């Protein structure tokens, strides 16, 4: 069966049908999925209940090397799987972000599958950061086009830890520099590449000035015109391009439980 594509908005998000991700997919099918990802930035697959952990990893590997997150337990059978549990008072990531921008070579994309869902709520929203860049005025574009941002692992994962613990974390995962405006390596699209989870400054800019500019740029993700919203169902899978998008989870489901599992495809150094 040929793949079907049903767009969700004019620029971002599409549901892909006609494929079982648990099967051994042909090179042609993988190429079609990759093309849909580049066009729609985030793509969704329904009714993928047969996709277990092993097949989840296998599907991710069809698009490149997979990373192992430093917070994954060392004894976990599938180290490439990053488990994202939430419930009770423990929230899902409720800040707009792009995954692992604290790495020198951040993620190409992430593939997330629903493992346990609440009765209601827990939707995920994605923002097209190319469209968000386009909505900036020309003066701001000129101001930011050559700026370099600082991305820090401890900003999110060291939150609340004492300074000495944060310094140990930073020694293992040093602050990295990425352009404020990234050029997508496959489409050539300019995108805003700063996010509230991991970006903590702009190189050579007074922190007070940097804070105001970063806040303005990060708020571009909150514009409804650049967003799509996905309502999870059992067997749902989302695959998004971290080079082109940011995402956020609605925590309206708490205190119910929500468990997701993610594999992350390694990308290249932003330019």
Q: Measuring CA to CA, how many Å separate 249 from each of 79, 127, 233?
A: 24, 12, 15
Q: Is 155 known to be catalytic?
A: no
Among 97, 113, 182, 184, the one annotated catalytic: 97
Q: Determine contact, residues 150/200, Cβ cutoff 8 Å.
A: yes
179, β-bridge pairs: 148
Per DSSP bridges, beta strands 176-179 and 148-151 are antiparallel
Closest CA to 132 of 180, 168, 204, 165: 180
Task: Name the phi and psi angles at 153, rounded to 5.
Answer: -55, -40
Chain Cα centroid distance, residue 119? 24
Among 113, 151, 184, 247, the one annotated catalytic: 247
Q: Is 247 known to be catalytic?
A: yes
Q: How many CA atoms lie within 13 A of 1 on its CB side?
A: 8
Q: Is 97 known to be catalytic?
A: yes
Per DSSP bridges, beta strands 42-45 and 14-17 are parallel
Q: Which residues contact 106 (CB under 8 A, 6 or more apart)?
A: 98, 99, 100, 178, 242, 243, 267, 270
DSSP three-state, residue 84: strand
Per DSSP bridges, beta strands 190-192 and 181-183 are antiparallel
Q: What angle do CA 42, 102, 197 make, to 5 degrees?
A: 70
Among 56, 99, 152, 241, the one annotated catalytic: 99
In whole angstroms, what is the distance from residue 6 CA to residue 19 CA?
14
DSSP three-state, residue 1: coil
Active-site annotation, residues: 97, 99, 247, 262
């Amino acid at each position: 069966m040929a793949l079907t594509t049903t767009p969700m908005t004019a620029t971002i998000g599409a549901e892909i049908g006609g494929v079982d991700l648990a099967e051994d997919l042909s090179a042609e099918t993988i190429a079609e999925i990759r093309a849909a990802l580049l066009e729609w930035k985030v793509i969704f697959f329904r009714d993928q209940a047969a996709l277990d952990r092993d097949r989840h990893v296998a599907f991710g590997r069809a698009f490149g090397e997979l990373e192992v997150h430093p917070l994954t337990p060392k004894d976990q059978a599938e180290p490439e799987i990053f488990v994202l549990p939430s419930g009770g008072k423990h929230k899902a990531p409720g800040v707009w972000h792009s995954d692992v921008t604290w790495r020198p070579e951040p993620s190409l994309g992430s593939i997330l599958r629903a493992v346990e869902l609440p009765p209601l709520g827990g939707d995920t929203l994605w923002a097209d950061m190319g469209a968000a860049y386009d909505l900036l005025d020309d003066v701001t574009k000129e101001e930011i086009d050559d700026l370099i941002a600082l991305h820090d692992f401890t900003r999110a994962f060291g939150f609340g830890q004492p300074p000495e613990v944060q310094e140990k974390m930073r020694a293992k995962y040093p602050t990295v520099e990425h352009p404020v405006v990234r050029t997508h390596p496959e489409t050539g699209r300019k995108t805003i590449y700063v996010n509230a989870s991991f970006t903590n400054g702009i190189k050579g800019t007074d922190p007070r000035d940097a804070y105001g500019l970063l806040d303005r740029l990060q708020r571009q993700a909150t514009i409804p015109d650049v967003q799509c919203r996905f309502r999870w169902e059992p067997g749902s899978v989302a695959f998004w391009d971290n080079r082109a998008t940011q995402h956020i989870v609605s925590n309206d489901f708490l205190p119910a439980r929500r468990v997701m599992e993610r594999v992350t495809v390694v990308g290249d150094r932003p330019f």
